[in-house]
Amino acid sequence: MKTIMVDMDDVLTYGNFSKILEDYLGYKPDYDSIKTYYIQDILGDKKEDFFSKFKDMDMYENATLLPDCYEVLEELSNYYKIYICTDNIWREIIEFAGNNLRNKYHFLYEKLDFIEPKNFIFVGDKTIVNCDIKIDDKIGNIDGAATKLLFTAWHNKDLTEDELKEQNVIRVNNWKDIKEILLNN
Ligand SMILES: [Mg+2]
């Protein structure tokens, strides 16, 4: 059976990070103009204050899976071995990253009841993971796979089709696209 590595944030779920950030700022930032991978970089000198509050929050509380994600993954699990691979390290508050691990584990355990928890991988450096197929929104994380699927996100939408082709990367915009590629071939 071929193996698939599936990223969590911005692939399975958006979590509630943007909502927490907007509540803190008191306004909705212009996401289209944000180019950085870490949205919190827009906080500037408010970052420390924000994270002192954020460290105790569960950003997956009330979070949902993206549309079609459950159904497609469940179907894929009949033909592939699925590993959910997610980075729990908070760069800004590294000593509290264990809270994030706990929250992520609970979310995955609750929402993806057909995937065994032994297939959850919590790792800061995903290059160590060797899977046939990798699905992630961060292009560096899909390196090394035979099939590389880049899930569209604000920080990768400017990558052109030519640039992706050069790196043998296929762009997917939603879970229906993933189904089309991995189940209909
Ligand atoms: Mg991600």
Question: Which residues are near ligand 1, the ion (C-beta closer than 5 Å)?
Answer: 7, 9-10, 137
At 74-95, the pLDDT tens digits run 999 999 999 999 999 998 999 9
The predicted structure's pLDDT at residue 161 = 95
Q: How far is the CA of 62 from the centre of ligand 1 (A)?
A: 18
Report how far residue 139's alpha carbon sits from residue 127's, in angstroms, rounded to the nearest whole number: 11
Q: How far is the CA of 141 from the centre of ligand 1 (A)?
A: 9
Task: Using DSSP, state whether 148 is helix, strand or coil.
Answer: strand
Report how far residue 121's alpha carbon sits from residue 85's, in angstroms, rounded to the nearest whole number: 5
Specify the pTM.
0.93
Task: Using DSSP, state whether 3 is helix, strand or coil.
Answer: strand
At 119-172, the pLDDT tens digits run 999 999 999 999 999 999 999 999 999 999 999 998 899 999 999 999 999 999
Q: What is 2-15+58-183's CATH number?
A: 3.40.50.1000
Q: How far is the CA of 139 from the centre of ligand 1 (A)?
A: 10
Report how far residue 43's alpha carbon sits from residue 85's, in angstroms, rounded to the nearest whole number: 27
Task: Using DSSP, state whether 34 is helix, strand or coil.
Answer: coil
Total residue length of the chain = 185
